[in-house]
Amino acid sequence: MNLCDVVVIGAGPAGACAAAMLVDQGLSVIVLEKEQFPRFSIGESLLPQSMAFLDKAGLVEAVNQHGFQLKNGAAFLKDGQYTVFDFSDKYSEGPGTTFQVKRAEFDKLLADGAANKGAQIRYRHQLLDVCGQAGAMTLTVDDLNEQQQYQLSCRFVLDASGFGRVLPRLLDLESPSDFPVRKAVFTHVRDHAPAHFDRNKILITVHSQKQDIWFWLIPFSDGTSSLGVVGLEQHYQQAGDLDDEAMLWHFIKQTPELHQLLIDAEVVQPLRTIMGYSANVRQLFGDGYALLGNAGEFLDPVFSSGVTIALQSANLAVPLVVKQLAGQPVDWQTEFSDPLRSGIGCFKEFVGGWYDTRLQDIIFYPAPDPGIKRMVCSVLAGYAWDGKNPFVSDAKRRLNTLAQICAA
Ligand code: FAD
């Protein structure tokens, strides 16, 4: 079959969830995935809001049953100050826990779930080109197994190609990100962390000397953890001519409490780096297509918002695709782009506040008002589309005011 209702490019979280929801609505779906699953991906700490989206896609039970490491909050460490956000103590309604996942397993679980519902997933099929208009799209695909190209016709295309950013590149949609170029160096370690270390939370540690350098430590259920450092390229250059592993430990050793926590850690995976990952597009939709997840906008990893945004984009787009293919009018700007970008905008304020340290002042404030902390906690738990929360509806002003109080 080379004819279907919807082609989804990429079988990551956005693509798999979109595919699952589309087949649930009776549409025929082909997912093109250039890799063979399971495959490594970065993005291992989920947010509770994502569980509600997985539930809508009928995929939450499989995730709940898999044995992933429970996540019930986020912990932050800076200059001897340790502070915790408990996701069950939040302003917005909705799940208060989630998981820390090895993405190879997580993404395969979601993709298998979509396939079991009836989506056809073609692994090692890479999208090369697309043309046409709504109702009659033609895609050129490279079958990497058979080493041959073929054409595929469909009525609508969802681009969930993540950092591949297939349609933004092909259709010249890319626009610069608001954030400077940063670089992450990361790996998995057998952490051998002491018993007091809370494995149910991501630990974000601020570098002891440079407040814009930070580390993540994301424990998994098998005694390993994802460990990474993020900083501007200039910080790496200043550190000298070190390989990636030496660079990661160089920064860790400069941050004594984290170094102490990881004193017995062993690296169990080759080091990886990614640089310049923040990206944006001029538009999130066009004639016959929409962009999901990272194929649209990606901000920054600090608040683990990537998978949640990816799932929300699928959650918003799927009902509109169904409506459009049923012949009803859809306003993609007001029904998809604006609502999606409103939540992304809230995360953007928080990310900006992290790097200019307004949010660090808030997070590490020793005597927070419990009600305000619940509102901030809601956003950290991914509830960035809950317009009832003043830190969502008026994020910039609220953060500025609170940061001034905390810094005084
Ligand atoms: P992806 O998961 O990237 O999936 C896209 C898929 O498309 C891939 O499988 C790819 O092989 C496929 N593809 C690409 N091109 C083609 C093509 N031409 N044809 C066919 N298939 C194609 N997010 C979090 O939620 N939590 C975190 O802790 C977190 N940490 C991060 C740390 C770093 C350093 C970075 C850079 C990002 C982090 N993220 C995190 C973000 C997260 O990685 C992404 O937001 C998330 O994976 C996006 O999901 P997606 O479904 O849009 O794309």
- Rounded CA-CA distance 78/225 in Å is 20
Residue 182, classed as helix, strand or coil, is: strand
- Nearest CA among 58, 190, 41 for reference residue 101: 41
Residue 134, classed as helix, strand or coil, is: coil
- For residue 277, the CA-to-ligand 1 centroid distance in Å is 10
- Rounded CA-CA distance 219/202 in Å is 7
Q: How far apart are the first and last CA of the chain?
A: 65
Name the residue at shortest CA distance from atom 41 of ligand 1.
306
Nearest ligand 1 atom to the CA of 307 is: 25
pLDDT of res. 1: 65
Nearest ligand 1 atom to the CA of 47 is: 25
Nearest ligand 1 atom to the CA of 16 is: 51
Nearest ligand 1 atom to the CA of 310 is: 52
329-336 contacts, C-beta under 8 A, 24 or more apart: 332/284, 332/285, 332/290, 333/285, 336/284, 336/285, 336/290
pLDDT in tens, the chain (408 residues): 689 999 999 999 999 999 999 999 999 999 999 999 999 999 999 999 999 999 999 999 999 999 999 999 999 999 999 999 999 999 999 999 999 999 999 999 999 999 999 999 999 999 999 999 999 999 999 999 999 999 999 999 999 999 999 999 999 999 989 899 999 999 999 999 999 999 999 999 999 999 999 999 999 999 999 999 999 999 999 999 999 999 999 999 999 999 999 999 999 999 999 999 998 999 999 999 999 999 999 999 999 999 999 999 999 999 999 999 999 999 999 999 999 999 999 999 999 999 999 999 999 999 999 999 999 999 999 999 999 999 999 999 999 999 999 988
Nearest ligand 1 atom to the CA of 305 is: 25
- For residue 103, the CA-to-ligand 1 centroid distance in Å is 9
Q: pTM of the full predicted structure?
A: 0.98
- For residue 294, the CA-to-ligand 1 centroid distance in Å is 6
Supply the ipTM of this predicted assembly: 0.99
**DSSP codes joined into one string, 183-217:** EEEEEEEE----TTS-TTEEEEEE-SS-TT-EEEE
pLDDT of res. 16: 98
Residue 329: Cβ within 10 Å count: 6
Structure token pair of residue 350? 């928080």
- For residue 392, the CA-to-ligand 1 centroid distance in Å is 25
Asked whether the bond before 194 is cis by omega within 30 degrees of 0, the reply is no
Structure token pair of residue 127? 């999208």
- Rounded CA-CA distance 16/345 in Å is 25
Name the residue at shortest CA distance from atom 15 of ligand 1.
164
- Rounded CA-CA distance 343/13 in Å is 18
pLDDT of res. 407: 86
pLDDT of res. 2: 84
- For residue 13, the CA-to-ligand 1 centroid distance in Å is 8
Could you tell which of 7, 33, 340, 354 is best to mutate to test the pocket of ligand 1, judged by most ligand atoms within 8 Å of the CB? Answer: 33
Could you tell which of 139, 307, 348 is best to mutate to test the pocket of ligand 1, judged by most ligand atoms within 8 Å of the CB? Answer: 307
Could you tell which of 159, 163, 230, 273 is best to mutate to test the pocket of ligand 1, judged by most ligand atoms within 8 Å of the CB? Answer: 163
Could you tell which of 34, 103, 187 is best to mutate to test the pocket of ligand 1, judged by most ligand atoms within 8 Å of the CB? Answer: 34
- For residue 162, the CA-to-ligand 1 centroid distance in Å is 4
Look up residue 92 and give its DSSP letter.
S
Name the residue at shortest CA distance from atom 53 of ligand 1.
162
pLDDT of res. 151: 97
- Nearest CA among 395, 355, 358 for reference residue 375: 395
Nearest ligand 1 atom to the CA of 306 is: 45
Question: Residues enclosing ligand 1, CB less than 6 A?
Answer: 9-15, 32-35, 41-46, 126-127, 160-164, 166, 184, 274, 277, 293-295, 298, 301, 304, 306-308, 310
On the CB side of 351, how many CA atoms lie within 13 Å of its CA? 23
